[in-house]
Structure 1
Amino acid sequence: MKRVRVMVRSFLGFLPWIVYAVIATGDEWRWGALAGLVIALGLIVVDRRSGKDWDQMVIETSAAIFFVLTAAISFADPSSSLMPYGPALVNAWLALTAWGSLAIRKPFTLGIARSMAPEEVWRTPRFYRVNAVITAVWGTAFVVAAVLLAVLLNVAPHATAAVIAVKVVTFVVPMVFTVRYPKIVSARYRDARGVA
């Protein structure tokens, strides 16, 4: 039950991005950025008060930085040429967050995974590898989404169904992978130890 609560809470980290996606249509990108920023800051405050470490709030912190920048641009220049590409920019930023965390050898999923796994496995190579793979899957999904959305928004800016489909698929696939992959690795590890 604790694992389910932690997973649900972890996916709440994406709430600022989801709210932005819903609100930031057309001229409303300013209010979407502001709403995303308020929610991201709210999540950070709640998480810090509940004792979470910063490594458990990478997505929320990344959202706060993104929405500060986006809000500043959107209020300074509401008709910025970046506005139509908001969905692609979100995914490009998230891709930078994921791949950047891998580059510094601190996959963004590590902090979240530590809250669900026993402390004795935190420093094992297998634990790191599982999180590196999961983070790479998220990073790849974000890159794919950014590219597809940039192309779609450039070629067919009113293809709302296609944009939504890209957003949903590129979020659901890594989410399902995140839930299933650790179980698969654990089962293989148990089987290998049983054989040995």
Structure 2
Amino acid sequence: MNYLKSFLPWIIFAIVSTQAGWQWSALVGLVLAGGLLTLERGRGKGWDTLFIEVSATAFFAGLSIWAFNDPGSPARDYVGALTDLWLALTAWGSILARHPFTLGIAKTMVSPEVTATAVFRRVNLVLTTVWAASFTVAGLAEAVLLHYAPHATAALVVLKVLGFAVPISFTVRYPRAVRARAQKAV
């Protein structure tokens, strides 16, 4: 569930953007992301556990500035795809930085002995790669759909939901499978 809380500003932004202009939904995303980041830092969480929150705050700050300065920008029609592509960039960037974003979150859920293992790092690299790939595919598919069939809202919703549902499901199942294999080997 820690993963879902990290993505809450993105999810609420997606919902609000269907009802409000992109300026206001960007501002809602910024307030939620900044608030969540402030709350979690106040609870003593380290920066390494807040990779998605920091990314969300930066994205929504930039999007808010852009949206209010150029409300008629053609980019407003692609903002749903841009959010997934930004998340993909965030996830791929965390892999390139050798600190997969799931690592910091997962460290809060297991013992220090587990976090020190190569298996733990490998599992989190795989998890972050799945998140990155899912966001990449969803973002690109949304961009193509928005370009060729901008009124296909049901398909856009399905892509958005799958972009989150697939990696969430994998995140729940994959570590269990790795643990089961390890226990069998012992």
TM-score normalised by structure 1 residue count = 0.92
- Higher mean C-alpha deviation, range 10-19 or range 131-140: 10-19
Pairing partner for 2:174 from 167, 181, 191: 181
The number of residues matched between the two structures is: 186
Alignment of 1:144-183 (within 5 A): 144-183=137-176
Other-structure match for 2:116: 123
SS of 1:51's partner is: coil
- 1:99-155 per-position Cα deviation (integer Å, ceiling 9, x unaligned): 000001100000110011110011211000000000000000000001100011001
Per-residue deviation, 1:81 = 1.4
Contact kept, 8 Å, 1:27 with 1:78, in 2: the verdict is: no
Contact kept, 8 Å, 2:103 with 2:124, in 1: the verdict is: yes
Per-residue deviation, 1:169 = 1.2
Q: Name the amino acid aligned to 2:79.
A: G
Q: Mind listing any 5+ residue stretches in structure 2 that lack a counterpart?
A: none
Q: Structure 1: how far apart are the matches of 2:39 and 2:57?
A: 14
Q: Identity over aligned residues, as a percent?
A: 50
Q: Mind listing any 5+ residue stretches in structure 1 that lack a counterpart?
A: 1-7
Other-structure match for 1:3: none
Pairing partner for 1:81 from 74, 80, 83: 74
Per-residue deviation, 1:20 = 1.3
Contact kept, 8 Å, 1:26 with 1:84, in 2: the verdict is: no
- 1:135-182 per-position Cα deviation (integer Å, ceiling 9, x unaligned): 000000000001100011001111110000001112111101001110
Contact kept, 8 Å, 2:37 with 2:50, in 1: the verdict is: yes
Q: Structure 2: how far apart are the matches of 1:27 and 1:153?
A: 18
Q: Structure 1: how far apart are the matches of 2:117 and 2:4?
A: 25
Q: Structure 2: how far apart are the matches of 1:62 and 1:114?
A: 19
Q: Structure 1: how far apart are the matches of 2:112 and 2:106?
A: 10
Per-residue deviation, 1:80 = 0.7
TM-score normalised by structure 2 residue count = 0.97
Give structure 1 regions of 4+ aligned residues with deviation exceeding 6 angstroms.
Answer: none
Q: Name the amino acid aligned to 2:64.
A: A
